[in-house]
Structure 1
């Protein structure tokens, strides 16, 4: 049901890892076979994962906008695209 990764640090997760864990949490909560206290913990972690994903998406959007602004001249990123 809940793996060991669900207790690790969210800050170190990539977007894909955070999204996969969030999907697992949603699936577990939707099934309704998780005790109440564990459901509350999962919901809290899910909210933190959602915020992580939102932050990473916003950062990626900003980088794409910078690239698009530079495309009038040369499409060169001024900052590395990786984390």
Structure 2
């Protein structure tokens, strides 16, 4: 299973929406519970944020590859989980 890194800002409404979508999707599909998602606030982890290539939050990286950046949808967040579960 692949590692997921999610970059957020604590006061970002899109990040809050993405976090709600993640919880909803885990309820729908218990397999997603197995995916380890590291959530990093770019204000608290500035060195990490500066080392990555993104501009908007939330941004998801699966095994170090950016797979989504910006406004989340249920389907986009589902794809993050699906990519993390792929062999």
Normalising by structure 1, we get a TM-score of: 0.31
If each structure's helix is expressed as a fraction of its own residues, which one has the higher value? Answer: 1
1 or 2 for the larger relative contact order (CA 8 Å, sep ≥6)? Answer: 2
If each structure's strand is expressed as a fraction of its own residues, which one has the higher value? Answer: 2
Normalising by structure 2, we get a TM-score of: 0.30
